[in-house]
């Protein structure tokens, strides 16, 4: 049994995944989205910030890096149902939307799910704008938009 930590940058498209065994030892590290920059590699490896032990994520990363990173403990629910319920506008062709969802990468699914609250907030400020169908939101990659007001 492995414990997963998904680390998503708030300032870029970087998404990383760290997996630890029951003793808190690092078993896997994956870059799910983006590419480590030279500056990040220096910060990780030369400055000794790479979380080889789970305790580093728990005691240092989570409390101190909240302003720059969103850290999710455990496997996030990336099922189609999670998207469908979170999006809320259950219209259009469900099967077509589900097929598109299954073709997305794990990083894209994370990006979609984290963009929905921003999109909903954006729509609150523009009440005359109709919410996109879920299939349109995925097909047009609207989740990549910066939904700032």
47-87: pLDDT as tens digits? 889 999 999 999 999 999 989 999 999 877 889 998 999 99
Residue 23's pLDDT is what? 82
- Which residues, listed in sequence order, are joined to residue 53 by a DSSP beta bridge? 25
| Tokens of residue 7, six digits | 């680390």
**Mean of pLDDT values over 117-141:** 94
b/e map 43-68, b = 16+ CB within 10 Å:
eeeeeeeebeebebbbeebeeebeee
- Which residues, listed in sequence order, are joined to residue 9 by a DSSP beta bridge? 69
pLDDT band at 94 (very low <50, low <70, confident <90, very high): very high
Residue 22's pLDDT is what? 78
Average pLDDT score over the chain: 91
Per residue in 71-82, pLDDT tens?
999 877 889 998
| Tokens of residue 76, six digits | 């996030």
Only one residue has tokens 């910030």, namely: 49
Any idea how long the chain is?
149
pTM, two decimal places: 0.65
């Amino acid at each position: 049994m492995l414990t997963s930590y998904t680390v998503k940058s708030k300032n870029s498209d970087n998404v990383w995944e760290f997996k630890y065994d029951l003793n808190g030892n690092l078993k896997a590290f994956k870059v799910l989205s983006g590419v480590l920059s030279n500056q990040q590699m220096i910060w990780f490896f030369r400055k000794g910030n790479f979380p080889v032990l789970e305790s580093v994520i728990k005691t240092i990363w989570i409390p101190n890096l909240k302003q720059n990173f969103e850290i999710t403990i455990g496997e996030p629910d990336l099922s189609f149902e999670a998207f469908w319920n979170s999006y809320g506008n259950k219209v259009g062709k469900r099967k077509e939307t589900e097929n598109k969802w299954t073709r997305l990468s794990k990083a894209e699914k994370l990006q979609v799910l984290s963009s929905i609250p921003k999109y909903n907030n954006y729509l609150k400020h523009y009440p005359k704008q109709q919410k996109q169908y879920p299939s349109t939101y995925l097909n047009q990659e609207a989740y990549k938009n910066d939904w700032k007001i």
